[in-house]
Structure 1
Amino acid sequence: MNSPILRSDLDDEDLPSPPPEDRVRCEWDFRLSSVLRPPEGASPAASDALGAIDVDPSNSILATGGMARKIRVYSLTAPTNPCSFFLCTPAKLSCLRFRPDAGGRLIAAADYDGVVTEYDLEHRAAVSERDEHGGRRVWSVDFSPGGALGSSGADDGSALLWDPRCPAGGGSAATIRTGGAPVCCVEFDRADAGPWVGLGCADRRAYVYDLRALGAGPVTAFAGHGGVVTYVRFAGAGRVVSSGTDGAHRLWEAPAGKEVRAFLGHQNRRSFVGLAVWRGGGLIGSGSESNEVFVYDLRWGEPVWVRRFGGGREDGFVGAVCWRGNGSDDECELIAGGSDGVVQIFACRRACSFS
């Protein structure tokens, strides 16, 4: 296969003129550092839309997936030949998640056929399949911080919890039912390392459950979105960020279920546009149906930075985002994937600090 084009430390003439909405507020500076393009001859842009991005625990491997039925694996430490390989998958992909206890070797993929498949990237092969959602589309997969639990959420109105170390097909360890509402997101608490799992559902609510007492029902229910809740992210200090197709991300205090603020500016009425929280810097990364990537500060409702994809095009969308940290609270990278299959990586640096 042909390698994608990587452009690092781009010259000014290689970049489109910054649109008026590109702006930085307060103490953060953003710079486009790299662009990863699909190889020549890849599927048309309409079918190459990215909906899933994840970085392995060592921050050295990037994996993307979406409509093209491929997991593309990039080395973030080999700028001359970043696309190491790709794996073909039997269905469109909705979510990717690296196993935190496997050193970047194992990744789980949730797909439109209702299956969660685990792939061994070292041997470039599928090693297990979980088909426990009755063939209904699986929207999300996640692992607990130590990798002892896996979870998936699907259109069958359930979130399943299982032991990733046990062979697939033995049944799930536990099932969370949502009264029939599709489960669009599952997320374990990595921020406070608490025994919590969050769900985002099509009933316009987000929920937090205690893993020690799942039968008692949700500890907290967040009701405030005017559309499907597509993402739930733990932000630390007992806070949760949710995203919905009402065009808003919302910050909540748990377990009180109190809304702190809404983050408005991006467009989201029908799609999964991506949501990621960088807890060290207190920032939210977001996609948009306006073909832009947004950054919000947890302290304010308006975006602190906006960047249009595709040299100013408006006929696409940004469908996946994630942060790549280095252990510092002062610098990070925001990785975003568009509907044309292109990945853009932005370097983020704190420009000043407040005492």
Structure 2
Amino acid sequence: MRDIVRLIVWAVVDLFRSRVAIEAEILALWQQIFVLRRTAPKKQTFGAIDRLVFVGLYRVFPRVLDALAIVRPGTVIKWHRAGFRLYWRWTSRPRGGRPTVSLEIRRLVHEMSIANPLWGAPRIHGELLKLDIAIGQTSVAKYMAKRRGPPSQGWKTFLRNHADGIAAMDMFVVPTISFRLLYGLLIVGHGRRQIVWLGVTAHPTAEWIANQITEAFGWERAPHYLIRDRDRAYGNVFIRRLRSMGIRDRPTSPRSPWQNGYAERLIGSIRRECLDHVVVFGERHLRHVPLSYLKYYNEVRTHLSLKKDAPVSRAVERAGSILCRPVLGGLHHQYVRI
């Protein structure tokens, strides 16, 4: 600050001096600059005041760049541009107005618009108000996912909407302690992956399978579609029973077990989690063991596809001490609060 005052004082004094004296002083100053450039280090240090003086002189008299000796003209121009940016940054600083929307809320709006393609900005805005999130409807429209075409549901949603009306069935073989073969019949619903029926027999005929279908669904709870393989056990009696119950028969293609993936995967779980650890004594014993597993599978066992819930929705217990209950003789356990 003292340098600026001194510079201003000398500028006022120069107004009353003769031109010859001023020229002589300028020559003396130039000679001193030449000596300093020879003896001083190559890189000079400039403070904020020094830069402000040079920039001010350049702003008022642009031709002053020709007289610069200890600093390059480009450096002065760079200082001027940096000051210009600082000035406009200060001028454009926020002065109140609409509050900014946090990143978390912006992501939530984006995710809601993707998960609900049929929702518009008013619907999403209403849901956010119910979540006590204060945001304007125009801001919601701004942060929604942009779509090129009309809104449409995804394949995952489309398949989930039709899963409740689809059931699948399959048969599996279980050897007994006497090497006798027994047959199990599995029926599973696609909606919640729930085991609807488990039947056991030594002679799987079409009449027996048709009766199992009737006992599993009755005449009022029958699904719209039933997926099965092309086993010869499903005879004409079975097909006529499906038609009389209003169920559309959907056999898979030959040698394509993947088309009945839910039933095949469930049979694998029954074997790995139950039958591979039990020696079956007979038909009565086999009928008891899968029924115990059916109750455990539907009411206790959590599933990844159901977001760690059971097919028969299992409530979250928050109070009480934890008690361990054995299932299938201790092969599995159920943990509850009492």
Q: Which has the higher contact order (CA 8 A, sep 6+)?
A: 1
Choose between structure 1 and 2: higher helix proportion.
2
TM-score, with structure 1 as normaliser: 0.21
TM-score (norm 2): 0.22
Query: Computing the radius of gyration over CA atoms, which structure comes out larger, 1 or 2?
Result: 2
